[in-house]
Amino acid sequence: MNGIHDMGGVHGYGPIDREEDEPVFHHAWEGKALALARVGLAGGHFNLDEFRHAMERIAPVQYLSISYYERWLEGTLMMLDAKGVVSAEEFQTRLDELSKSSGGGA
Amino acid sequence: MKITRDVVLGLYKNTGTARVDADVAASFKVGDIIQARIINPTGHTRLPRYVRGKQGRIATDHGVFKFADSLAHGGGNQPQHLYSVRFDARELWGGDAKPQDCLYIDLWDDYLERAE
Amino acid sequence: MTSDNNVELRVRALESLLLEKGLVEAPAIDEIIDLFENRLGPQNGGKVVVRAWTDPAFKARLLANATEAIVEMGYDAVQGEDMVVVENTPEIHNVVVCTLCSCFPWATLGLPPVWYKSAPYRARAASDPRGVLVEFGTEISDEAQVRVWDSNAELRYMVLPERPAGTGAMNEDELLALVTRDSMIGVTRAQNP
């Protein structure tokens, strides 16, 4: 698809932002997000090409706004829903439960 | 399959290549001048827009690989040759690029046609 | 957009569902994180580079069949199944990018840094590699050739940086300290002693 992910040669993104002594993960949830995607892949629930395509289908504005491992999480959720492993409704229900118990408004 | 700690330890020893041990004929050979096809698929492809319609030269035949465009849509392996294709920077980006600079990208047989 | 707090909760929600469904066990999740945090990383690629600098026969094998040579050193992890190593010389400077996503040789370099996955690098490494290299402080002569490798398929690319001058007497540990992750992506050279 001619998506936002196909970035080669695009202008306007500005300078390359680098970080000295960058950690492998900046937040604990990033490692978890990667691990859960690997679970979906290694468990045979979806393949790498399907997973990449799911991330490409994240709406362009969102694709650029969210961080790298958020894209992994959203791609994993899209694939697990599409394959009937974890439906979007089931996920939302669990998210609402956790949100209530943690006292936050998600 | 349930992912256990043992399964994960297996991941350290790689998860398997996309290479396929299949006897598939190659449409091109090293040195051939090719043109990347002009396509506009709504599905998954690993042929980026910046090489479509551009001419390059087959640099290496990597052998037979599963085809990502098919696998992303439940279409099976469609095993075919994958080549490292060399494009002159000027062919891709115009006259401001240095004449000696170039770009290599891996392209499957289905992405290519013989250049005139 | 989602805040970190929200995404943290989303990850927790998915984790709890996958555990509950019996698709994964908790120690497996910890093991995956440990693999990427502690066992895969540029220290592995660095050892491959130092060996290539000090063992001409290994270097020849590495450039001819990188996958086999790297497996021979014990680095046969995920995203290293089909490797290509390209050599930087005074005349040829190689640099690696994945314009479509974030493909990277995990077995030798671990997970990529944020800049490698960012839009500015993915957008410009292919079309303006010399400009990108200048941003990394890497000057390339007008006469040298720049080769960009867009790792769009399932082969993974690593650069063998040039061995810096004046390192003839250095031992392997001292050499290893000169091999940076960025030099194996090709955006910089190996450090001078």
- pLDDT (tens digit per residue) in B6-39: 888 877 665 678 899 999 999 999 999 999 999 9
Is pLDDT above 50 for C98? Answer: yes
Contact B19/B103 with Cβ under 8 angstroms? no
Asked if the ipTM is above 0.90, the reply is yes
The predicted structure's pLDDT at residue C49: 98
| C99 contact partners, CB below 8 Å, separation of at least 6 | A6, A7, A8, B48, B50, C122, C123, C125, C126, C150, C152
Question: Cβ of B48 and A52 within 8 Å?
Answer: no
Nearest chain A CA: its distance from B105 CA (Å): 12
Separation of alpha carbons C73 and C110, rounded Å = 16
Are C75 and C134 part of one and the same domain?
yes
- Catalytic (active-site) positions of C: 98, 101-103
Question: Cβ of B62 and C147 within 8 Å?
Answer: no
Look up the domain containing C22 and give its range.
Answer: 4-38
Residues in chain A predicted with pLDDT less than 50, given as ranges, are 106
CA atoms within 13 A on the CB side of C103: 26
Among the listed residues B26, A7, A90, the one whose alpha carbon sits nearest the alpha carbon of residue C116: A7
Is pLDDT above 50 for C1? Answer: no
| C104 contact partners, CB below 8 Å, separation of at least 6 | C79, C98, C111, C112, C116, C151, C156
List CB contacts (< 8 A) between A43 and chain C. 23-24
pTM: 0.96
Number of domains making up chain C? 2
Q: What is the CATH number of the domain that holds A38?
A: 1.10.472.20
Question: Cβ of C35 and B7 within 8 Å?
Answer: no
Contact B109/B81 with Cβ under 8 angstroms? yes
The predicted structure's pLDDT at residue B9: 80
- pLDDT (tens digit per residue) in C8-66: 999 999 999 999 999 999 999 999 999 999 999 999 999 999 999 999 999 999 999 99
Q: Does A88 touch chain C (CB under 8 A)?
A: no
Residues 14..53 of A with a Cβ closer than 8 Å to C: which? 14-19, 22, 24-25, 27-29, 31-36, 38-39, 43, 45, 52
CA distance between the termini of chain C: 46
Number of domains making up chain B? 1
Encoded amino acid at B78, one letter = Q
Are C17 and C45 part of one and the same domain?
no
Look up the domain containing B109 and give its range.
Answer: 17-114
Question: Cβ of B49 and A52 within 8 Å?
Answer: no
Is pLDDT above 80 for C5? Answer: no
